[in-house]
Structures are given as C-alpha cells and as structure tokens.
Amino acid sequence: MKYTNSIEIALPREQVAQLLANPAHLPKWLRGLVEHEPVSGIHGELGTKSRVVMQSGKQTMELSETVTRREPADLHNIPPGTIVHFDREVVGPGMWSVARDRLIEAGPDTTLWEQDSEFRFSGLMMRLVGLLMPRTFHKQSQQHLEDFKAFAEQGKDVREEAS
C-alpha cells in the first residue's frame, strides 16, 4: 500500500526542519507516542536506529525505526531551493513501512511538507488489516502532519487534548 500526504506550514523551511528534527518536540505532535529512544546513533541522524512505542486506545505496539536518509545533514543555513529529505524505515510485528518526507520552500515563510508512505504486511491478520483499512493508515498519516502544523504554528500540544 502506497500513498502521499502533504500540508503547507506557515513557517520558513529551515525552522520546520529544525522543529521536526528535535526529539524533545515529538510527544507534542506525534499522537500516540509513548517512547522514542535511540538504540544506536544520535536521534534523527543518518543510520540511527531507535526503539519506538506507540499506543492507540488500549493497543500498544513496539517498533524499530532506522533513519535511511537525512539531507542536508546540517539543518542550519540551508541553501535556498534545497529540498530537505528525512526518510525512515519502520519495522514492527507483521509490518514494514517507509516514510519519505520532503520539506520544500513554498515561499519565504511557507513550507510544503510532502510525505510518501509505503506499507507491507505479513501474516494473515496484518494482511487483512492492510486490505480492509487502507484509508485508516492514510488518514492517520495526514493527522500527524496536521498535528505538527498546529504545534509548529500555534504551539498546540496533542497531549493537552487528551487531558
């Protein structure tokens, strides 16, 4: 299953890239995140492997994430016109996914975030989930982009909604 999501954020691309790369901000916009800890490497840098725990309702899932692309490596003073790339591979019970994020300068104070997602499932139950609920995955990915936009532009924290 493959799909693309996108959103415009009313902030300069360099600022969006720095907010996305800062691990302290993840719980503020990544709905359902319980834990995100590097097992090897430095958070967000190329090759870093992390243990990720996500929760949806009463369901908890432990995943392994590997950063497979980060360009440019230095997110300060990004040359004009440069597209920022963050790619990561996520593996969990019965699933493999990849997310390819692009931050594109849409204007002096506007960033277009495009995200290509791909999922593969193994095992009967997970294959059924993938076949029966593809819109759920697409919708959840868009929700993450919208939550980040609200955090970046307005300082909204998804954890405060749950309280």
> Which has the higher per-residue pLDDT, 56 or 152?
152
Spatial distance between the Cα atoms of 160 and 163, rounded to a whole number of angstroms: 5
**pLDDT tens per residue, range 38-50:** 999 999 899 999 9
Please give the model's pTM, rounded to 2 decimal places: 0.89
CATH class of the domain whose range is 2-156: alpha beta
**pLDDT tens per residue, range 108-157:** 899 999 999 998 888 666 656 655 566 777 898 999 999 999 999 999 99
- Annotated domain spans of the chain: 2-156
Q: What is the CA radius of gyration of the chain?
A: 16
**pLDDT tens per residue, range 81-109:** 999 999 999 999 888 999 999 999 999 89
Pick from 6, 44, 32: which is nearest to 149 by CA? Answer: 6
What's the pLDDT score for residue 95? Answer: 87
- Long-range CB contacts for residues 45-50, cutoff 8 Å, separation at least 24: 45/70, 45/73, 46/70, 46/73
b/e code 14-38 from CB counts within 10 Å (16+ = b): bebbbbbeeeebbbbbbbbbeebeb
**Residue 19's Cα: distance from chain center in Å?**
12
The answer to whether 112 and 8 have CB atoms below 8 angstroms apart is yes
